[in-house]
Structure 1
């Protein structure tokens, strides 16, 4: 920066400190928000990945590497040495080295050891035999037993001397659950069959409590901690106990003396602290390399050439990738919308600054200043303010939201700062490329748009139409999203830049808003011209003057309208997404429960229970019904759920809940013919199977009834599922018609009182509690929060855009009021003048924003599925997350624009009325 430019910057900062401070605040806030966004994405996506891995059982996420059996070519001594802890520990170190980053091993939960692949039947009579079959036991010699357990009774097992395949007795420990189920205690001796030798005696020396029962050390092989009853495949169910005896690692060679085929294993538990969503592709590659790639080759080099790998961690990562790929496009729509509004506001701030200084810059050009020199001075002037402000916003974002990566946040803040620095000089250079002292007045009513503007608008129209059509064709849903590598790419891209999927598609709502703004700007002069004639015939001068002032607005003022419409469209879209998520969860909870509460017993409910439930606070209606989940339909005895209901009450309930409403008379049993088939309401799958012909249904108690399908509905309150029938209770026998279920509707039924009324006779399920369970993953929670933040940020920038537009003309309006007051204008007339002058663009933005938001949602709703964001996979059903217009999201932002415009104009008129006319006239003349 040369001396002349430095002097220029110092003078400008001294003469306009308020403008510099406002620019710094705007840049700092926008840079902070821009930097926070990718860091927030990183945090909730990382949390979602960790949640997915931790929620999956360790037997799925652990990587098992094992050598099926020892080489028969080995001598007995070599076979025994291969099972000793020293060899296994050395091999385990090599296995850990084969794990490629970004996958890391949790060394504390990883393990290695020896166990027999075939559980051995033990003949000891004191071990329970549920079906007369002897228990089967695994002998497991795993490292770190003392560090992962605490001794409840006895002591840890140990060895005396050197254990070989011929050793007659070894020590072992069992967990407390194994001891309780198998009737083992300290001192018990279990005799394990031997191979060409006497049975191996295993003496129990300790009963242990796992320190982390859910950790991978214990849970990767659940039988180590908890024995299980195993069913033998046969016509008559037969069961035997399967458990584990925990040997010291030095006793592993004793397994060679048993027929259980011992094998070595190395279990690698993934470290969740090092999991990051942006590395999902690398994580998949690392798992694949360890399963069947170079990593497995390294493992075989250090362990055994027959070593194999087994894990479901890749499936867990793929599931997360599909979820991230489904949520990513929705998040990117919010990101693009808010970023566009912020960028428009920054450009508008630079444009308004250039308009305010038009006379000053025109004078510089008239005195010989070149465009390059003028642009350089303006760039230095804004950079001195914007660069420190951007750095401050970035620092605030880095401190406020901790995350691993900084590069995306830095790039976002740099982009905001660069845009803020370039907005003023570029606008000034374009405006003053030709030297003129007095520019022509650019009235919005009289000036015709240029050909360049027409071409640009048509180009944007084509791009927007293509983006909308692409989104409608492709669809955005969890089921239709990419999988595999695509899913990881989506998550990685989303984590790095907030963009997942096609960027053009994500920009579709913004482009629709921009096109609508350009169309409205084209139409803006028409109503002003139509109203100018009637305004001349009004008695007062305020109406005519306000219309004349609105019509003489500079064409550069269309930029605030672009910002307002883009913000309103983004806010409406985001608000509808949030409302759609809430609605999807409400509908899913209602479908799962059937009403506001469900009281259901395993058998017939007590006679007085319905009356007790009716007296519970908040209960409005109680509908009794009998539900048989053991019914079987047709000659093939297809399982169905059959509900017996009172048709009139049930039809009213279905109408109130919206779950498959139907006319009550369609379900009512014919009174004339008691032996005729019962009319039934059926699910589509049952209707496809049996049509409209009568067919028999066998009830759970052995009774039978003949039904004929009269109504088909996808869902019904009484039962949940794909195969159901609903009939008139009056057509069932007395036993089958007894109520087993109560469906309760009302305003917030008291959960505690409802459970107290039901007692132990029935279970209580509340719709509100069911709904609270539907936030399944931090990924879904984070996406919802991002959308809420996008709506708030868009609304804030819309307010800021309107304030900038109104305050831009504040000095001119103040001078105008001062002149008119000298001509006899009253304060009330001045207030009406300012309000009427500011209303046309505010009304244009409000009246255009609501229809634009509505049209955007209607256009894009076929391609937007909110199910992935709203519901866990287990609760999702077709049509649960359809995007619908939310009236409040459309009306509130538009109304806020009107109220703000009127409020600012009224405030300016009030403030001007407090000052003297002479001072304002001087300010106006100088401005």
Structure 2
């Protein structure tokens, strides 16, 4: 009779059923980490794309549109050939050919692109009813552009049309104008404008419609702003301003041949507006090369093949792209610093999770090895067991990242999530393989005070030290543009500090053991002995904590430096909490009305003359007349150029406060004459030199007592206000419409208007927060690893008479050395890293919209809160967990703990 075969349960299913809590915790850890890893590159790509679109959109179509232009081949051609060349059909076919050329380099917005014929010069028109501001004749530009009916609404009259064939000798054509042109040039429906001709009489242009642009800011109307808005031009000559009006008359395309008979020197053009929705920052290099090809490469040759050998391609898009590229290259390394720190801490946490699982199952794995299990077979089974949990969790995390940040590329996100999943899968098998290389039933002690560093460890540490020193030196010398290695400089600094502290830790414990041995009671001596028995593998939690603390200190200092730079730049621009400026003297009662508004604490009036002429020279300086007492209080409150009020005491020669450049130019010993723009003059003598002053954001100024100025020049043109929570709208309602109102909060918010800056700031903050979260998790994992042994120790000591209070003190004192080591080391490392790296870090790009701000360069310096708050949190958390564990162990019975401890 044969016996039935024995059914063996699968390994993976058995292990997952035996420890479902551990499997669930691993799945959650992998899912969150994979989600963060996959979301980071997509978030960066999203804000970079938005920043590129914003940069091009802010640059205005007159700079970003690709303009192809070609002169008319008037010589050697008959009038019939010219009329054919200027016909809409020919221009349309050339437009389609050019579209293939330009569209191969960048995405083209066909709706906002256009083509047509326009006059290169603007002839003067002598019609007497057109306004002449300075007696000069108005000028007009004739434009026959495609798609007029689709981009404008008819406000009055009708669209122009060509009734019959039109050639260079046609006596009259129809045209339309925009409402803004009609208003400025007094044009009405039915008005006739006579444009001078060449070899013929004037061309009569009859206006048949007044149009309203549907999208005035779009490229169709804004590539040449004259099409929608007339300009008041000024002749470049000295003396009183000589101005004249310049407007555009919009002809139908069929009437384009009539332009040949005018003095306007007509030319053909094709305008291609970039499609902002099709722009991607990762294609920036291709976009650069495409634009360069259009301007002076193969693209230009193809354009000339389609339109003529004398064609030219012009655009300012390359300059806009270069500006964005410089901004991105300055911001990206700063974000990479936070990403590298967070990634390092996350990897450490994943390795610690695998190490914790291996330690928890050390007896089981040792028994399997003793019973004949091979190391490859055991490692393979552990890998399968982990992969069953980690792979689905990683896929879920990646899916969440893709859903959170749609529209970006998936390649980098998939690679990052895959790296997290593979690390999580390999952590437990590799840790078990290293611990069970040889068959042994008991694990040897590996206390941090007993294990001597091996030669391999020394070589690895020296290698990391060399890398860190090279990265720091490169960053200090070349800045963040030196390469990707410099982004690892703070992380490498934290790693070196962790390894150094681990070498110093045994020495510190031995130094503390001597005075502790002379103390009464055994708790202090026992806690130090327990701290010295910490496993040498504690390098991982210490590495995680120091890396996180260094990254948090560096990141917090970056964010604090950005905020400080914006605050300082806004203060230098406004000069107070709010500012009111006008080109003419302010109303006499405005200061009293403003002072009565809620939140206004002080008002300092100033009369500012921007074109005062010292010594009757051509160079102008800014002369500011102030009330010494009020202005002195304002300078003291803002910290901008504090001075004693007595410095501006009136005398025959007005004492003046001056900027260093003015003091160097005119001296501080002798008086000199300053002539004002109304012809009056005052004599001043520089008594004090100030670097800054609230009333003038620039660096060239003279400050005098307003009471010493002539009556006309002493009338205030500026009010500087101080107060908390000033209402900008209330200030604008209190002032006339001609007064410009600026508040500190509004100006500050304007320094980060690019999504590239705001997005980088958000990603940086999120990365630092994630790194801090992983560091806390690393600390909890380290405490959880030692929790069973601590609980068994307390239970044994309780049977020997240890009280609950002594047990709490024992666990707290045992956890303090490592917590204090990590906190002090992290604070010191962060401070050192910031000081080492600050010469190569320029925060101006991420803090301000432009480097041309009154604040100058924004530098990195340590932020005390970012240095101390994370370190204090580490100590409080470690002590708190130790206290909670002691309290919980005290509530449980000692017998139960001893039984649980026997199995470990």
TM-score by length of 1: 0.92
Aligned pair 1:244/2:220, yes or no?
Answer: no
Report the CA distance between 1:226 and its aligned residue: 1.5
Instruction: Check the 8 A contact 2:569/2:855 in 1, yes or no.
Output: no
Residues paired across the two proteins, number: 897
1:254-333 aligned at under 5 Å gives the runs: 254-333=258-337
1:895 lines up with 2:898 in the alignment: no
Confirm or deny: 8 A CA contact 2:565 2:855 kept in the other structure. no
Displacement, 1:355?
2.8
Q: CA deviation at 1:71?
A: 4.8
Matched, 1:462 2:443: no
Distance 1:377 1:531 in 2: 45
Match of 1:378 among 382, 395, 408: 382
| Offset from partner CA, 1:580-637 (integer Å, 9 cap, x none) | 1111111111111112222445455555554554444333343344433232223524
The answer as to 2:897 corresponding to 1:916 is: no
1:555 partnered with 2:536:
yes
User: Which residue is equivalent to 1:598?
Assistant: 579
C-alpha distance in structure 2 between counterparts of 1:567 and 1:749, whole Å: 40
CA separation in 1, counterparts of 2:821 and 2:213?
Answer: 69
Q: Which residue of 2 aligns with 1:686?
A: 662
Tell me how far apart the structure 2 counterparts of residues 374 and 123 of structure 1 sit (CA, whole Å). 99
Aligned to 1:490: none
2:444 alignment partner, one of 437, 440, 465: 440
1:92 aligns with 2:95: yes
Q: Is residue 798 of structure 1 aligned with residue 775 of structure 2? A: yes
Which runs of structure 2 are paired with 1:685-764 in the superposition (5 Å)?
Answer: 685-694=661-670, 695-729=672-706, 732=709, 736-737=713-714, 739-755=716-732, 758=735, 763-764=740-741
Deviating more after overlay: 103-112 vs 712-721: 712-721
- Contact 2:65 2:271 (C-alpha < 8 Å) held by counterparts: yes
Please report how far the alpha carbon of residue 651 of structure 1 lies from its aligned counterpart in structure 2 after TM superposition.
4.5
Q: CA deviation at 1:77?
A: 1.2
Distance between the aligned counterparts of 1:506 and 1:382, measured in 2? Answer: 32
Secondary structure, in 3 states, of the residue corresponding to 2:793? helix
Distance 1:122 1:621 in 2: 55
Selected match of 2:400 from 393, 396, 403: 396
Tell me the CA shift for residue 409 of structure 1. Answer: 0.7
1:489-508 equivalences under 5 Å are 502-508=483-489
Of 729, 735, 754, the match for 1:777: 754
2: distance between equivalents of 1:258 and 1:729? 58
Q: Which moved more, 1:723-732 or 1:583-592?
A: 723-732
Residue number among 532, 535, 544 corresponding to 2:516 in the alignment = 535
Among residues 601, 606, 614, which one is paired with 1:620 in the alignment?
601
Of residues 290-299 and 184-193 in structure 1, the stretch that sits farther from structure 2 once superposed is: 184-193
Is 1:349 equivalent to 2:376 in the alignment?
no
**Shift in alpha-carbon separation, 1:317–1:128, aligned structure 2, 3 A:** same
Distance of aligned partners of 1:26 and 1:102 in 2 relative to their CA distance in 1, 3 Å threshold: farther
Which secondary structure does the structure 1 equivalent of 2:109 belong to? Answer: coil
SS at match of 1:390: helix
Retained in 2: the 8 A contact 1:113–1:141?
Answer: yes
Alignment partner of 1:209 is 2:212: yes
The farther-off stretch of 865-874 and 408-417 is 865-874
CA contact (8 A) 2:572 2:855 kept: no
CA 762–307 in structure 1, closer or farther in 2 if over 3 Å, else same:
closer
Q: Tell me which residue corresponds to 2:884.
A: 907
Q: Cα 1:743–1:6, aligned 2, differ >3 Å: closer, same or farther?
A: farther
1:47 and 2:50 are equivalent in the alignment: yes
Q: Of the candidates 836, 848, 851, which is equivalent to residue 871 of structure 1?
A: 848
Output the TM-score relative to the length of structure 2: 0.94
Contact 1:70 1:263 in 2 (8 A): no
- Residue by residue over 1:431-464, the C-alpha shift from the partner in whole angstroms, topping out at 9 and shown as x without a partner, is 3334333232111123322222222222222221
Q: CA deviation at 1:297?
A: 1.5
1:629 counterpart SS class = strand
Distance 1:889 1:330 in 2: 17
The one-character-per-residue Cα deviations of 1:545-580 (angstroms, maximum 9, x if unpaired) are: 222211111111121011001101111111111111
CA distance in structure 1 between the aligned counterparts of 2:195 and 2:859, rounded to whole angstroms: 61
**Please, which of 25, 36, 40 is the counterpart of residue 37 of structure 1?**
40
Matching residue of 1:175: 178
Tell me which residue corresponds to 1:487: none
- More displaced, 443-452 or 502-511? 443-452
- Report if the CA contact (8 A) 2:572-2:854 is conserved: no
Q: CA deviation at 1:189?
A: 2.3
Q: Given that residues 845 and 851 in structure 2 are in contact (C-alpha distance below 8 angstroms), is that contact kept between their aligned partners in structure 1? A: no
CA contact (8 A) 2:555 2:764 kept: yes
Q: How far off is 1:737 after superposition?
A: 4.8
Deviates more, 1:512-521 or 1:626-635: 626-635
Can you give the 5+ residue segments of structure 1 that lack an aligned partner in the other structure? 482-500
Deviations 1:100-122 (A, max 9, x none): 44511100000011122222333
The structure-2 alpha-carbon separation of the partners of 1:753 and 1:53, relative to structure 1 and needing over 3 Å to count, comes to closer
Is 2:338 aligned against 1:361?
no
Once the two structures are superposed, residues 192-251 of structure 1 have per-residue CA deviations (whole angstroms, 9 ceiling, x without a partner) of: 233323332222222111111111111111121122222234445333222222111112
SS at 1:529 equivalent: helix
Q: Give the one of 111, 118, 127 matched to 1:108.
A: 111
1:489 is aligned to: none
